[in-house]
Amino acid sequence: MRVVLSDAYGFCGGVRDAVRRAHEAIREARETGLPCYVYGDIVHSKAVMDGLLSEGAERIVSPDGHLPGIVVIRAHGITDGIRSSFTMAGFTVIDATCPVVLRSQRLLRDSGRRTIIIGMRGHSEILTLQGSGRESYLVESPDDLSAIPAGIAYDAVVQTTFSLPVLQMIKEKAMQLGLEIRYLNGICPASSERRKALSSLAGRVEAIVVAGDRASRNTVELWQEGKRLGLPCFLVSSVDGIPDEVLAFSCVGLTAGSSCPDTLVEGIRRRLADGR
Ligand code: SF4
């Protein structure tokens, strides 16, 4: 089978940096005899997390009941309250929060208006934004806008990996409702680049494989974008998870979410190229 790799796929700068810092923290903890913890999933990738845990890191969600050590904060950040609970308990905090997410937190905190957060309820980045010390409306779909009073000026911060089509629908509905909203940020450039590169693949292949985890929002967005482009599109999280029907095509496009490691992309590429 011919496999055409997307021009933009896999680890973004924020993820690459977070993974590097987690590995450095594990090494440092080993040398100093301290325990090393990771707060939640450093990035949304089982392959990456399995690697960190097998090297000796432990997952942690609170300092309670744990010996103080080094704790690495995930790429999508944590609330100020959780961060200070670790510092106060004597942990060394390695903050691997992506600069793009830190910027969103700062924009929200510094806004002089009432604020709106646009993103998925319960997503790690949204929990981080909600813990930034600002009371904000949460908008996940155009319907949520009906709870927001008109006649007041708002600032909105968007989840970096949010769905572009849903964001467009929210913006249109907000205009129809006469809501005055200033959008302080947009979808992360890394996510947009991967989406654009996928569109340019579409005319050249029979089907698309998106490598990555279902827990990764931008991976799911790529998968949905592939389907919107009208091609058979498959989300594949492991080399053994390639569905048989993919192997029936003679030319497949391959891309990967921004938390998917190169090793997994390469494993999938080889298996597809072998056609078995
Ligand atoms: S997708 Fe964007 S916001 Fe998320 S970690 Fe990567 S660069 Fe940062």
- Please tell me the residue having the least CA distance from ligand 1 atom 8: 14
Query: What's the confidence (pLDDT) of residue 203?
Result: 86
Give residue 93 CA to ligand 1 midpoint distance, Å: 20
Residue 232's CATH number: 3.40.1010.20
Spatial strand order of the sheet with 92-95 comes to 58-60, 36-39, 70-73, 92-95
Do residues 36 and 96 lie in contact, with contact meaning Cβ atoms separated by under 8 Å?
no
- Tell me if 40 CB under 6 Å of ligand 1: no
* Residue of 137, 145, 257, 108 whose CA lies nearest to 197: 257
User: Taking 80 as the threshold, does the pLDDT of residue 276 lie above it?
Assistant: no
Sorting pLDDT into bands at 50, 70 and 90, what band is 16? very high
Give the percent of the chain with pLDDT over 70. 100
Tell whether 223 and 256 lie within a shared domain.
yes
User: Taking 90 as the threshold, does the pLDDT of residue 202 lie above it?
Assistant: no
- Tell me if 255 CB under 6 Å of ligand 1: no
Tell whether 78 and 123 lie within a shared domain.
no
User: What values do phi and psi take at 209, rounded to 5?
Assistant: -115, 125
The two tokens of residue 20 are 């590097």
Residue 58's CATH number: 3.40.50.11270
Tell whether 90 and 114 lie within a shared domain.
no
What's the gap between Cα 178 and its chain centre? 31
If one counts the domains in the chain, the total is 3
Sorting pLDDT into bands at 50, 70 and 90, what band is 222? very high
Query: What's the confidence (pLDDT) of residue 3?
Result: 97
Query: Please, what's the b/e burial string for 159-175 (b: 16 or more CB within 10 A of its CB; e: otherwise)?
Result: bbbbbbebbeebbebbe
Which of 95, 100, 192 best tests ligand 1's pocket when mutated (most atoms within 8 Å of CB)?
A: 100
Do residues 217 and 159 lie in contact, with contact meaning Cβ atoms separated by under 8 Å?
yes
pLDDT tens digits, 172-186: 999 999 999 999 998
Tell whether 107 and 151 lie within a shared domain.
yes
Tell whether 145 and 104 lie within a shared domain.
yes
* Residue of 218, 237, 255 whose CA lies nearest to 47: 237
Query: What's the confidence (pLDDT) of residue 217?
Result: 87
Do residues 86 and 71 lie in contact, with contact meaning Cβ atoms separated by under 8 Å?
yes
Tell whether 209 and 170 lie within a shared domain.
no
Burial of 66 (0-12, 13-18, 19+ CB in 10 A): middle
Atom of ligand 1 nearest to the CA of 188: 2
Sorting pLDDT into bands at 50, 70 and 90, what band is 133? confident
Of 65-69, 132-136, 202-206, 258-262, the range with the lowest mean pLDDT is 132-136
Do residues 106 and 184 lie in contact, with contact meaning Cβ atoms separated by under 8 Å?
no
- Tell me if 190 CB under 6 Å of ligand 1: yes
Give the percent of the chain with pLDDT over 90. 87
Give residue 52 CA to ligand 1 midpoint distance, Å: 19
* Residue of 69, 74, 22 whose CA lies nearest to 44: 74
User: Taking 90 as the threshold, does the pLDDT of residue 161 lie above it?
Assistant: no
- Please tell me the residue having the least CA distance from ligand 1 atom 2: 188
Give residue 99 CA to ligand 1 midpoint distance, Å: 8
Give residue 39 CA to ligand 1 midpoint distance, Å: 17
The mean per-residue pLDDT over the stretch 131-148 comes to: 94
Last residue of a domain, one of 97, 129, 148: 97
- Tell me if 267 CB under 6 Å of ligand 1: no
Tell whether 71 and 135 lie within a shared domain.
no
Sorting pLDDT into bands at 50, 70 and 90, what band is 212? very high
What is the distance between the alpha carbons of residues 3 and 164, in angstroms, rounded to a whole number?
Answer: 27
Tell whether 205 and 261 lie within a shared domain.
yes
Tell whether 202 and 231 lie within a shared domain.
yes
Query: What's the confidence (pLDDT) of residue 185?
Result: 92
**Residue 19: which domain range?**
13-97
User: Taking 90 as the threshold, does the pLDDT of residue 40 lie above it?
Assistant: no
What is the distance between the alpha carbons of residues 13 and 98, in angstroms, rounded to a whole number?
Answer: 8
Tell whether 45 and 119 lie within a shared domain.
no
Query: What's the confidence (pLDDT) of residue 275?
Result: 79
The mean per-residue pLDDT over the stretch 212-229 comes to: 92
* Residue of 195, 190, 245 whose CA lies nearest to 75: 190
Atom of ligand 1 nearest to the CA of 75: 5
Last residue of a domain, one of 152, 183, 214: 183
Tell whether 161 and 208 lie within a shared domain.
no
Tell whether 157 and 214 lie within a shared domain.
no
- Tell me if 98 CB under 6 Å of ligand 1: yes
The two tokens of residue 165 are 């089509």
Sorting pLDDT into bands at 50, 70 and 90, what band is 32? very high
Last residue of a domain, one of 123, 151, 183: 183
Give residue 133 CA to ligand 1 midpoint distance, Å: 22
Give residue 176 CA to ligand 1 midpoint distance, Å: 31
If DSSP codes are grouped into helix, strand and coil, which group holds residue 210? Answer: strand
